[in-house]
């Protein structure tokens, strides 16, 4: 198998409508003879993702994901001071009836379970570690928006499309003449931090952690400096 730290703004698998768009699966297949997808991450989400190298491993890993015996932990920056510090969100999720590609909490949806614990508080934001017990589309984004704590950056479910340092430095922030402020983060503030699976041939428990990408690290650094 292959375990990759996927960069943000990169598709996991080919686009349904345009297979020419850059994606991780096609890229890996230029180097390895056989690569089979096991699970996915949203385009904007960074972090750990697993692929199988043969049919036997693919069948084994797929069953682990289907049986929900895989542990997936995400680090998420959200708006607001999340309370309580630990919790469980159990709300069914279904496609939005009027907006293509968007999901929503609905009694008619599929059972969806998310647990979380706060890692660090800031004045306006929280860094949260999240475990998903089910793998619904946009599950983390929908669940946290539903309890009043949308992702810090989320074009579809949040309150801002980009995050700028000036949003936390306010009067202390100064731009030079003719300078334009660039966003520190312009994609969903969501990172797949670690994955625990059973190795398909040795049967040993394997935990892989993915380092935070530069954009996520930069935001955390500024929050720790200006928003404690």
Which residues are known to be catalytic? 42
Peptide bond into 54 cis (omega under 30): no
Q: Which of 65-70's residues contact partners 24+ apart within 8 Å by CB, and which partners? A: 65/38, 65/39, 65/135, 68/133, 68/134, 69/198, 70/195, 70/196, 70/197
Label residue 143 exposed, middle or buried (CB < 10 Å: 0-12, 13-18, 19+): buried
Sequence-distant (≥ 6) Cβ neighbours of residue 184 within 8 angstroms: 163, 164, 165, 215, 218, 219, 222
Query: How far is CA 43 from each of CA 23, 24, 60, 188, 208, rounded to the nearest angstrom?
Result: 9, 10, 25, 9, 20
- State the Cα–Cα distance between residues 31 and 117, nearest whole angstrom: 39
Q: Which residue has the tokens 């398909």?
A: 200
Neighbours of 151 (CB within 10 A): 24
């Amino acid at each position: 198998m292959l375990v990759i730290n996927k960069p943000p703004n990169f598709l996991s698998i080919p686009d349904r409508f345009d297979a020419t768009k850059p994606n991780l699966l096609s890229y890996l297949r230029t180097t390895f003879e056989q690569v089979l997808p096991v699970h996915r991450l949203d385009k904007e989400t960074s972090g750990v993702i697993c692929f199988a190298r043969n049919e036997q491993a693919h069948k084994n890993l797929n069953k682990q994901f289907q049986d929900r015996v895989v542990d997936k932990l995400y680090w998420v920056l959200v708006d607001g001071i999340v309370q309580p510090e630990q919790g469980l969100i159990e709300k069914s999720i279904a496609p939005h009836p009027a907006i293509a590609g968007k999901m929503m909490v609905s009694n008619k949806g599929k059972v969806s379970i998310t647990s979380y614990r706060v890692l660090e508080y800031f004045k306006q934001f929280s860094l949260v570690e999240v475990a998903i017990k089910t793998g619904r589309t946009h599950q983390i984004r929908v669940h946290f928006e539903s309890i009043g704590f949308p992702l810090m950056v989320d074009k579809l479910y949040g309150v801002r499309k980009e995050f700028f340092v000036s949003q936390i430095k306010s009067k202390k922030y100064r731009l030079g003449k003719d300078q334009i402020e660039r966003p520190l983060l312009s994609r969903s503030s969501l990172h797949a931090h670690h994955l625990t699976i059973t190795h398909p041939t040795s049967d040993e428990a394997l935990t892989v952690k993915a380092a935070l990408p530069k954009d996520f690290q930069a935001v955390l650094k500024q929050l720790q400096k200006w928003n404690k």
